[in-house]
Amino acid sequence: MTANTAATAYDALAQAANKRSSTQTRFIVQVGHCSQSVGAHSIAEEIERLLPNESVLVIAGCDGACFDAPQVIVRNPSGSQTRFTRVTPADIPGIITGGNGTDGDDRAFFSGQHRLTLDGCGETDPSDIDDYISGGGYAGLAKALSSSPEDVIAQVKDSGLRGRGGAYFPVALKWQGARGVDRTPRYLVVNSEEGEPGIFKDRHLMEGVPHRILEGATIAAYAAGAEQAYIYINAEAELSAARMQTALEQAYDGSLLGRDILGSGFDLEVEIRHGAGGYVCGEETTLLNTMEGDRREPRLRPPFPTESGLLARPTVINNPETLASVPFILAKGADAFAAIGTESDKGTKIVSVSGSVRRPGIAEVPMGTTLREIVYEMAGGPEDGQSLTAIAVGGPSSGILPPSMLDTAIKPGLLHESGVMLGAGGIIALDERVGVVEMLRKLAAYNADESCGKCTPCREGTPRIVDAVDRLLSGSGSLNDLEEARYLANVVNSASLCGLGQAAGNPVTSVLHFFGEELAELVGVR
């Protein structure tokens, strides 16, 4: 094998893919788990029925502008395209005959984004590997396989990439740690559980650009020395699993998975595994237990998975967003990735925006973007006639911020010392119709319901937090309930075994810090 074998093999694939570039007009219908609920499938079926000669129907994923679904993009052979939003069956004849587009809100939504992992999402065919390759897909893998694993790890380290699942652990150190353990086989697990409320980014990636995840996973496996990988997908994410399975089969057919990938001598087998669902399954050692057929509960650490993970072998666990960042780094260089974001926090982050905003969806923004830019400039701010009262950030393992904190910049880890974290990137805007303490109750109840029950602080403490909040909401609460909630939150956070319990008190501590007046009114203190 020569150093450029993989590059030569990739060039042949790219040439074949480019030869297939069509002179047909493409009618691209975005069908994702979001747009399915508003009839995107029916729109696709009707367009297919009326499709003109020399035109082709493409079923794509959602580009993140969920508020404008169903969306149709008409792309001409010249490369020019027209976007149609909130399409109804009555609109289809006009779309077929070349009507004017309706994408006004989309411009504001996309203007502040830097689409790196989401590049091509909603515009390319997730079930066509040539569509991905013709846009530069798998070029990063070819470059990785033309380098040593150590060089790949060094490039990712220089890029500053951290995991995008919530913990933000340096990716290169995880790969290096697993490679440094002298035991085989080593494994790679793609954690696509994504079970928490308000987070839906990884499903968009799996539905829209599944090959980018596979490419990143293959690079990660090569760097870490793994020859077996598993994609662990929430069993409820049926569309995600179907599109990942199609991409998997195509990658095998194209010699991009399996034995002797691109003639490099590197072998990788990949399988999809379906999780039973549950927030705690997103915790990496819990995920491993479920893969081995054990209870969905965490393991004691150390040892960490990179030393003893799946079947007690070195295991790297990354989520889809993390892995989807890797092809860019290998193809464009570490400096290109490091130039995005801030001096300390590199790259982009996908945020899931929902609640009281005009334009809910997912947006990929540079690290350092403020909550105000996300909520107001991209998502359009609160719905007509409403005022923003709070922002729940990071899901049930984080907390709630007041509007005065809108100029907070997103970054890994804590956004505020009261326990508010960026986490996996969920941002839920609240207005007067939802009280802050009601939202606290929903988050606390979710954590109590999802507790696996293994450790006493989380098992017993989270339901008692809910009881204290219920007394406050019923009007029978007292200052003692506030103090009990504070005490329980601190105990649960400090004494629990896994990440769920260690952050389950954060909604309480953040609300106590920022919304003291609302709480005082509930207990009759002015």
For residue range 485-515, list pLDDT tens digits in order.
Answer: 999 999 999 999 999 999 999 999 999 999 9
Distance CA 257, CA 310 (A): 21
Distance CA 12, CA 33 (A): 35
Neighbours of 46 (CB within 10 A): 19
Where in the sequence is the domain holding 394, given as residue range(s)?
348-431
The reported pLDDT for the residue numbered 100 is 83
> Do 145 and 293 belong together in one domain?
yes
> Do 320 and 237 belong together in one domain?
yes
Distance CA 152, CA 157 (A): 9
Q: Which of 276-285, 309-318, 386-395 has the lowest mean pLDDT?
A: 276-285
Distance CA 133, CA 129 (A): 6
Instruction: Tell the residue number behind the tokens 């406050």, with chain if given.
Output: 472
Query: For residue 318, which phi and psi values (nearest 5 degrees)?
Result: -130, 155
Q: Is 211 exposed, middle or buried (0-12, 13-18, 19+ CB in 10 A)?
A: buried
Residue 331 lies in a domain: no
> Do 133 and 216 belong together in one domain?
yes
Residue 11 lies in a domain: no
How do residues 305-351 score in pLDDT, each as one tens digit? 999 999 999 999 999 999 999 999 999 999 999 999 999 999 999 99
> Do 106 and 146 belong together in one domain?
no
Nearest in space to 124 (alpha carbons), one of 217, 220, 212: 212
Residue 336 lies in a domain: no
Residue 87 lies in a domain: yes
The reported pLDDT for the residue numbered 397 is 85
More confident residue, 526 or 166: 166
For residue 58, give the DSSP letter: E
Residue 333 lies in a domain: no
Res 2 pLDDT > 80: no
> Do 283 and 149 belong together in one domain?
yes
> Do 453 and 504 belong together in one domain?
yes
> Do 180 and 237 belong together in one domain?
yes
- What's the chain's average pLDDT? 94
List Cβ neighbours of 383 (8 Å cut-off, separation of 6 or more). 356, 357, 358, 431
Give the pLDDT mean for 54-73. 96
Instruction: Tell the residue number behind the tokens 């790259």, with chain if given.
Output: 347
List Cβ neighbours of 200 (8 Å cut-off, separation of 6 or more). 33, 34, 194, 352, 362
> Do 80 and 194 belong together in one domain?
no
Here the CATH number for the domain that contains residue 81 is 3.40.30.10
How do residues 244-274 score in pLDDT, each as one tens digit? 999 999 999 999 999 999 999 999 999 999 9
The reported pLDDT for the residue numbered 4 is 78
The reported pLDDT for the residue numbered 243 is 98
Residue 135 lies in a domain: yes
Res 67 pLDDT > 60: yes
Nearest in space to 64 (alpha carbons), one of 157, 200, 196: 200
Here the CATH number for the domain that contains residue 203 is 3.40.50.11540
Inter-residue contact 370 to 393 (CB < 8 Å): no
Query: At 516, is the pLDDT very low, low, confident or very high (cuts 50, 70, 90)?
Result: confident
Res 120 pLDDT > 90: yes
Q: Which of 194-203, 221-230, 401-410 has the lowest mean pLDDT?
A: 194-203
CA distances to 257, 302, 409 from 311, rounded to whole Å, are: 23, 15, 40
Residue 225 lies in a domain: yes
> Do 295 and 356 belong together in one domain?
no
Percent of the chain with pLDDT over 70: 98
Instruction: Tell the residue number behind the tokens 């996908």, with chain if given.
Output: 350
> Do 481 and 362 belong together in one domain?
no
Query: For residue 277, which phi and psi values (nearest 5 degrees)?
Result: 95, 160
The reported pLDDT for the residue numbered 525 is 58
For residue 519, give the DSSP letter: H
Dig out the tokens for 145 from the structure: 């396989």
Pick from 377, 401, 431: which residue ends a domain?
431
Query: At 517, is the pLDDT very low, low, confident or very high (cuts 50, 70, 90)?
Result: confident
Distance CA 512, CA 508 (A): 6
Residue 329 lies in a domain: no
> Do 200 and 146 belong together in one domain?
yes
Inter-residue contact 328 to 209 (CB < 8 Å): no
Give the pLDDT mean for 211-223. 98
Res 276 pLDDT > 80: no
Residues forming a β-bridge with 370: 409
Inter-residue contact 498 to 280 (CB < 8 Å): yes
Here the CATH number for the domain that contains residue 455 is 1.20.1440.230
At 446, which amino acid appears? Y
Res 19 pLDDT > 80: no
Dig out the tokens for 461 from the structure: 């403490």
Nearest in space to 210 (alpha carbons), one of 194, 236, 226, 233: 233
Pick from 392, 407, 431: which residue ends a domain?
431
> Do 404 and 464 belong together in one domain?
no
The reported pLDDT for the residue numbered 1 is 43
List Cβ neighbours of 16 (8 Å cut-off, separation of 6 or more). 130
Query: Domain tally for the chain?
Result: 4
Query: At 83, is the pLDDT very low, low, confident or very high (cuts 50, 70, 90)?
Result: very high
Strands, E assignment, 106-195: 187-192
The reported pLDDT for the residue numbered 526 is 44
Distance CA 437, CA 423 (A): 21
Percent of the chain with pLDDT over 90: 86
Pick from 260, 290, 324: which residue ends a domain?
324
Here the CATH number for the domain that contains residue 357 is 3.10.20.600
Residues forming a β-bridge with 57: 27
Give the pLDDT mean for 165-179. 95
Res 3 pLDDT > 70: no
Res 385 pLDDT > 90: no
Q: Is 111 exposed, middle or buried (0-12, 13-18, 19+ CB in 10 A)?
A: exposed
Query: At 21, is the pLDDT very low, low, confident or very high (cuts 50, 70, 90)?
Result: low
